[in-house]
């Protein structure tokens, strides 16, 4: 099974990631991986940490001559800020009590994590709960996207709203997807609507002046996904359940919908379900995609779209009331260096999680030890779809 895990703290030496289950023979483009990491570091409203880090991966195992060899792939992302924190975060020697956190931030993992793991210094919690860990996810996601690209699947992400300012997401086909990605990457907020982007930036400026933080929403999508990934037969095999869980695992994400799921709940069935048509030229096709590419827990051949809703970041520069757990007196919460708004970089993390979920389901169906073996399995399935179901779109 395709799996990955990450390790590392926000101000530790760095982040380590291990991926298992990648087939041998996959061409690895480290330039693309580092490009995705650079995109994650951008975004209007980001904090000072991004001026310090310049994330790049160092592949430690599993790749030789730019191709995977079938063994676990591991890589390292250095934390350049670590020298400023070595006396606090060193594994062998540190200064007890220095930069200790004892005034938990409402909305963060500080307090429940400290209770669970018996830590009086909540830095032991916030260092791992930090969104710094998502750099590992974005890099891993780039590996999964490169695997999917071998089978003509492509992904993109875009910001849909910041605070109360929202825009309509752009829905491209494969031909226009490249142009959309270029326009999104040129935007300071990964939003294709330039007018709404300016309004969002003004909103972020206002929040910064007031010591506030802002949330919002983003959409991630995968084009070219074949029908048949996931299954209806058991709750843990449903593709939408897998994807929703992966997106919800991103720090500060508090809501997920597949396609226009929330809006669909307000409409009658005749305005929600995607009718099925057929012509000899087109085969089976649909005119709408209100299901978001998934029916009954199974991909249906349409573009898979997932929208995520992100709460404002818990660190406020005008902090909320908390309790100092060393004196049990009410005080203002601790302040850690943080962003004002992180919806734009979160969209890259969402894209990575979508890539992982689809790649995992894809490998489950077309598994093989070498990329050529998977290609043969996939080609056999495409021939079956074309001959039996008249399905040409994939």
Please write the tens of the pLDDT for every residue from 78-119.
Answer: 999 999 999 999 999 888 788 999 999 999 999 999 999 999
Q: How many Cβ atoms from other residues are within 10 Å of residue 66's Cβ?
A: 11
Residue 50 has pLDDT above 90, yes or no: no
Contact present, 135 and 77 (Cβ < 8 Å): yes
Cα 381 to Cα 122, 276, 362, 371: the distances in Å are 52, 21, 12, 15
* Average pLDDT rounded to a whole number, residues 339-350: 96
Determine the pLDDT at residue 142: 98
pTM of the model as a whole: 0.95
**What is residue 368's predicted lDDT score, i.e. its pLDDT?**
96
3-state secondary structure of 387: helix
Distance, in Å, from the CA atom of 138 to the CA atom of 142, rounded to the nearest integer, reads 6
pLDDT level of residue 391 (50, 70, 90 thresholds): confident
Q: What is the CATH number of the domain that holds 64?
A: 3.60.150.10
Tell me, yes or no, whether 78 lies in a domain: yes
pLDDT at 47: 72
Any domain includes 122? yes
Q: What is the mean pLDDT of residues 165-191?
A: 92
Is the per-residue pLDDT at 394 higher than 60? Answer: no
Do the domain assignments include residue 221?
Answer: yes
Residue 182 in tokens:
């270029």
Greater confidence (48 vs 275) lies with 275
Answer yes or no: is 394 within a domain.
Answer: no
- Asked if residue 48 is part of any domain, the answer here is yes
d(CA 42, CA 243): 25
How would residue 48 be classed by pLDDT, with cut points 50, 70 and 90?
low
Q: Domain of 321?
A: 3-389
* 307: in domain: yes
The torsion angles phi and psi of 371, rounded to 5 degrees, stand at: -60, -35
Dump the DSSP string for 199-214: HHHHHHHHHHHTT--B
Please write the tens of the pLDDT for every residue from 122-132. Answer: 999 999 999 99
Taking the C-alpha atoms of residue 336 and residue 89, their distance in angstroms, rounded to an integer, is 15
Q: Give the chain's domain count.
A: 1
């Amino acid at each position: 099974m395709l799996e990955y895990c990450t390790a590392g703290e926000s101000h530790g030496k760095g982040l380590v990631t291990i991926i298992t289950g990648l087939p041998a023979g996959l061409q690895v483009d480290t330039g693309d991986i580092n490009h995705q990491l650079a995109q994650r570091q951008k975004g209007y409203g980001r904090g000072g940490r991004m001026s310090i880090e310049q994330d790049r991966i160092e592949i430690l195992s599993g790749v030789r001559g730019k191709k995977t060899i079938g063994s676990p792939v591991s890589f390292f992302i250095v934390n350049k800020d670590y020298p400023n924190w070595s006396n606090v975060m060193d594994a062998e020697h540190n200064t007890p009590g220095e930069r200790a956190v004892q005034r938990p931030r409402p909305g963060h993992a500080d307090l429940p994590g400290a209770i669970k793991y018996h830590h009086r210094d909540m830095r032991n919690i916030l260092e791992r709960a930090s969104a710094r860990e998502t750099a590992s996810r974005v890099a891993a996601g780039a590996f999964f996207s490169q695997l999917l690209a071998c089978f003509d699947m492509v992904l993109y992400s875009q910001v849909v709203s910041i605070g109360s300012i929202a825009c309509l997401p752009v829905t491209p086909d494969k031909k226009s997807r490249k142009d959309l990605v270029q326009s999104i990457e040129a935007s300071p907020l990964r939003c294709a609507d330039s007018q709404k982007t300016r309004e969002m930036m003004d909103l972020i400026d206002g929040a910064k002046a007031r010591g506030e933080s802002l949330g919002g929403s983003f959409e991630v999508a995968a084009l070219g996904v074949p029908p048949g990934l996931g299954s209806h037969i058991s709750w843990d095999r449903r593709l939408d359940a897998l994807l929703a869980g992966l997106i919800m695992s991103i720090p500060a994400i508090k809501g997920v919908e597949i396609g226009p799921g929330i809006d669909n709940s307000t409409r009658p069935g005749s305005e929600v379900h995607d009718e099925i048509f057929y012509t000899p030229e087109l085969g089976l096709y649909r005119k709408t995609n209100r299901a978001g590419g998934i029916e009954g827990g199974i991909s249906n051949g349409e573009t898979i779209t997932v929208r995520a809703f992100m709460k404002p970041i818990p660190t406020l520069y005008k902090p909320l009331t908390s309790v100092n757990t060393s004196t049990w007196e009410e005080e203002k919460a601790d302040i850690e260096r943080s962003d004002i708004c992180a919806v734009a970089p979160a969209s890259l993390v969402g894209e990575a999680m979508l890539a992982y979920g689809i790649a995992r389901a894809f490998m489950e169906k077309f598994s093989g030890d070498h990329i050529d073996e998977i290609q043969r399995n996939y080609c056999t399935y495409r021939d079956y779809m074309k001959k039996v179901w008249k399905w040409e779109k994939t």
